Amino acid sequence: MSHGSIFGLLVLGAVAAFQVWVTLRVYRSRLYEPSQKSAQAKLIWLLPALGAVIAFSVLTSEEQRERRHERSDDGEFRN
């Protein structure tokens, strides 16, 4: 097997692992309804790499927004 083939397999494996990780994060999230989770998973797997990046970005920003909202409910000062 050539070095290029090995590199390609490593990249493919990394992309697949990232997609699995993002899919698990989406399904474990309390921010989405079950139908939204299903739609996110379809996006992740039907648009390889790009779908996972989009879903990860949206999930991360929603989690940050939720944390800020929870802090403001606790009476803490927020910027």
pLDDT tens-digit map of 41-67: 999 999 989 999 999 999 999 999 988
pLDDT at 67: 86
Q: Where are the domains of the chain?
A: 3-73
DSSP state for residue 61 in the 8-state scheme: H
Task: Phi first, then psi: give them for residue 8, nearest 5 degrees.
Answer: -60, -45
Rounded distance, CA 57 to CA 9, Å?
Answer: 25
Q: Which amino acid, residue 23?
A: T
Q: What is the pTM of this model?
A: 0.80
| Contact (CB, 8 A) for 15 and 53 | no
For residue range 6-36, list pLDDT tens digits in order: 999 999 999 999 999 999 999 999 999 999 9
